[in-house]
């Protein structure tokens, strides 16, 4: 016989959790041999004029690391519309499309020695859980609380706010 089902959250809580929605995008990492020069005057750039690419960062420049042993790496984030459109396409096809668009933005990039294309199905919160004030206490015995930017807003401040709300809920419980 099947295992018994225990409902630990209310129907209202379930609906609040299901109402949270996220954007989707891809991230492409390009890794280069030591000594390779990526000749641009910036460490990161927000791109507004491309339908595919939204942000490019040169990781070693961003972290202010110059090394003769480790080559530079680029991280490319796609736009949300691109991520949604190509969410179920093969990683290989998506990577090729990103490469084509990257050539328009940074023509003549050297060939990377390695690449990693990552589907980010749940990238940023587009709609947070309503009326949760940074956390949701799901159960009291045992104490179960959840938090994160899905209960506030999708940025670093939202994560900090949620963490403080979770801490306050925990302090009030013990």
Summarize pLDDT for 90-142 with one digit per residue, the tens. 999 999 999 999 999 999 999 999 999 999 888 888 888 888 889 998 888 88
pTM of the model: 0.72
12, 55, 59, 64: which is closest to 38 by C-alpha? 59
Burial degree of 150 (CB within 10 A; 0-12, 13-18, 19+) = buried
Structure tokens at 70: 């480790």
What topology does CATH give the domain 22-126?
Polyamine Oxidase; Chain A, domain 2 (3.90.660)
**51 class by beta-carbon count within 10 Å (0-12 exposed, 13-18 middle, 19+ buried):** exposed
45-95 pLDDT, tens digit each: 999 999 999 999 997 665 566 666 788 899 999 999 999 899 999 999 999
**Between residues 13 and 82, which one has the greater pLDDT?**
82
* Domain boundaries, given as residue ranges, for the chain: 11-20+128-172, 22-126
| C-alpha span between 12 and 18 (Å, rounded) | 10
């Amino acid at each position: 016989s099947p295992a018994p089902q225990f409902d630990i959250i209310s129907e209202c809580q379930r609906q609040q959790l299901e109402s949270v929605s996220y954007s989707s995008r891809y991230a492409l990492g390009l890794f280069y041999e030591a000594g390779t020069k990526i000749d641009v005057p910036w460490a990161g750039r927000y791109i507004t004029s491309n339908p595919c690419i939204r942000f490019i960062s040169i990781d070693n420049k961003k972290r202010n690391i110059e090394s003769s042993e480790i080559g530079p790496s680029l991280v490319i984030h796609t736009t949300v519309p691109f991520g949604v459109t190509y969410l179920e396409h093969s990683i290989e096809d998506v990577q090729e499309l990103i490469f084509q668009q990257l050539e328009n933005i940074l023509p003549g990039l050297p060939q990377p020695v390695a690449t990693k294309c990552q589907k980010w199905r749940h990238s940023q919160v587009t709609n947070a859980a309503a009326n949760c004030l940074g956390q949701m206490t799901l159960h009291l015995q045992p104490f179960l609380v959840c938090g994160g930017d899905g209960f506030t807003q999708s940025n670093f401040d939202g994560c900090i706010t949620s963490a403080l709300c979770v801490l306050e809920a925990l302090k009030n419980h013990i």
